[in-house]
Amino acid sequence: MKNTKVVLQKRPDGAVSESDMVLVEETIAPLEPGEVMLEVEHLSVDAFIRTTFDEGAFHGTAGLGQPIMALGTARVVDSRFEGLNQGDAVFGPMGAQTHAKLPGAMLQKLNEDELPARCYLGVLGLATGMTAYAGMVKVAQVSKDDTVVVSAAAGAVGSCACQVAKNLGARVIGIAGGAAKVDYLLNEIGCDAAVDYKAPDLADQLAEAAPDGVDVFFDNVGGDILDAVLLQINERARVIICGAVSQYERTGDVQGPTNYLKIPEKNASMLGFTVMRFAEDYPEIQAAITEWVLSGQLKLPEQVESGIDQFPRALTLLFSGGHMGKLLVAP
Ligand SMILES: NC(=O)c1ccc[n+]([C@@H]2O[C@H](COP(=O)([O-])OP(=O)(O)OC[C@H]3O[C@@H](n4cnc5c(N)ncnc54)[C@H](OP(=O)(O)O)[C@@H]3O)[C@@H](O)[C@H]2O)c1
């Protein structure tokens, strides 16, 4: 079986560029007992992938010349693993490649009766919809009395997080870059207000969008945006650190929040989380999301780039603001 994989050829110094990655062709060895041969159908383009390009990364460091980490869905083309057969759809750590040979025990067989397999990377995905749900429901414990702000709101996690908070009855304000994303947040995602952080007046826009202050900040970005929202938080606010995409391409130290004294002044809390903390709750979270999707209360637009050669460019789009909703590559 022939495979084309994307490997890391050089560690980026700051912003990731397409030339940091290169395509390599290989022949995959025959299956050993317990293994499965897969044709990859969709790869999830996630912000965490960029962090694996650096030494000492939380999610593990990508080796030079090694396939880039990526979650994906695939079709079984051959199996020596009991429980998986030719034609089954699976989810797992595919890596950025067209084909994969993996132990069957590392794969989750997908039920395609209600939703297509690629939804397990997006609205039902561990690093997307399930992260948004866990952060809003389990960590922030959002209620109808809350004014909720979400950063990177037009991205994958952000688009879901806004809708989860709306479904819990909150007033929701999305922050994203540019007029097209503001329009998307208001007209596709159903935010009550949207703020363009690339415009010069972020603080004024935030004050106008949240005249009564902010009860919950679901932060995907960190840096200057975190600092701007901290100035607007209410008494007992919950600042939830989901991620800090503005810091993943830094060359020096992480920029911590300058305005963190607002936390004690407002008797507020700042809580971080990883979705893995809620592993015991995954079935419950997937069931709740599926119900919302089927009832039309939760949707996640997808942007699908075709061809494994598009994977390097797709990864750069996450940091240049070049996509809306869930970014996928169909190799
Ligand atoms: N805690 C967890 O378990 C967990 C799990 C999965 C993901 N995450 C986090 O969730 C966040 C979103 O990840 P995702 O994979 O869904 O990506 P995404 O939101 O689809 O893409 C990243 C978005 O970040 C925005 N962005 C990039 N650089 C920025 C900057 N310097 N300043 C402001 N905004 C910037 C871009 O939108 P604009 O055009 O608006 O700039 C882009 O759309 C990341 O922080 C990620 O680490 C956390």
Which pLDDT band, with edges at 50, 70 and 90, does 179 fall under?
Answer: very high
* Percentage with pLDDT > 90 across the chain: 94
Ligand 1 centroid – CA 132 distance (Å)? 12
Ligand 1 centroid – CA 321 distance (Å)? 9
**Higher local confidence (pLDDT), 62 or 189:** 189
190-208 confidence digits (pLDDT tens)? 999 999 999 999 999 999 9
Check pLDDT > 90 for residue 56. Answer: no
- Closest ligand 1 atom to Cα of 272: 1
Ligand 1 centroid – CA 48 distance (Å)? 9
| pLDDT at residue 120, rounded to an integer | 97
Average pLDDT score over the chain = 97
Check pLDDT > 90 for residue 57. Answer: no
Segments of the chain assigned to CATH 3.90.180.10 = 2-122+301-330
| pLDDT at residue 59, rounded to an integer | 87
Mean pLDDT of 71-100: 98
Mutate to test the pocket of ligand 1, among 157, 246, 254, 323 (most ligand atoms within 8 A of CB): 157
Ligand 1 centroid – CA 30 distance (Å)? 38
Which pLDDT band, with edges at 50, 70 and 90, does 26 fall under?
Answer: very high
Neighbours of 264 (CB within 10 A): 8
Check pLDDT > 90 for residue 213. Answer: yes
Ligand 1 centroid – CA 318 distance (Å)? 7
Mean pLDDT of 146-172: 98
Integer Cα distance of 90 and 272 in angstroms: 30
> What Cα–Cα distance (Å) separates residue 237 from each residue in 145, 202, 218, 249?
12, 20, 11, 29
Ligand 1 centroid – CA 34 distance (Å)? 36
- Closest ligand 1 atom to Cα of 51: 47
In sequence order, what DSSP letters do the residues of 243-297 get, joined into one string?
--GGGTT-SSS----TTTTHHHHTT-EEEE--GGGGGGGHHHHHHHHHHHHHTTS
Integer Cα distance of 6 and 68 in angstroms: 6
- Closest ligand 1 atom to Cα of 323: 43
* Whether 226 contacts 219, CB under 8 Å: yes
* Whether 275 contacts 134, CB under 8 Å: yes
Tell me the chain's radius of gyration from C-alpha atoms: 20
Ligand 1 centroid – CA 151 distance (Å)? 8
* Percentage with pLDDT > 70 across the chain: 100
Which pLDDT band, with edges at 50, 70 and 90, does 152 fall under?
Answer: very high
Structure tokens at 274: 């990883």
Mean pLDDT of 261-286: 97
Mean pLDDT of 266-286: 97
214-255 confidence digits (pLDDT tens)? 999 999 999 999 999 999 999 999 999 999 999 999 888 999
pTM of the model: 0.96
CATH architecture of 2-122+301-330: Alpha-Beta Complex (3.90)
Collect all residues with Cβ–Cβ distance below 8 Å to 51 and sequence separation of at least 6: 57, 58, 59, 248
**Higher local confidence (pLDDT), 281 or 62:** 281
- Closest ligand 1 atom to Cα of 321: 39
- Residue whose C-alpha is closest to residue 254's, from 222, 228, 218: 222
Mean pLDDT of 282-307: 97
- Closest ligand 1 atom to Cα of 241: 1
**Residue identifier of the C-alpha nearest atom 30 of ligand 1:** 246
DSSP conformational letter for 325: S
Ligand 1: list residues with CB < 6 Å: 46-48, 127-128, 131, 152, 154-158, 176-177, 181, 220-221, 225, 242-246, 273-275, 318-319, 321, 327
| pLDDT at residue 74, rounded to an integer | 98
| pLDDT at residue 94, rounded to an integer | 97
Segments of the chain assigned to CATH 3.40.50.720 = 129-276
**Residue identifier of the C-alpha nearest atom 15 of ligand 1:** 46
- Closest ligand 1 atom to Cα of 134: 3
| CATH superfamily name and code, 129-276 | NAD(P)-binding Rossmann-like Domain (3.40.50.720)
Ligand 1 centroid – CA 149 distance (Å)? 14
Ligand 1 centroid – CA 172 distance (Å)? 18
| pLDDT at residue 252, rounded to an integer | 87
* Whether 311 contacts 96, CB under 8 Å: yes
Mean pLDDT of 112-118: 94
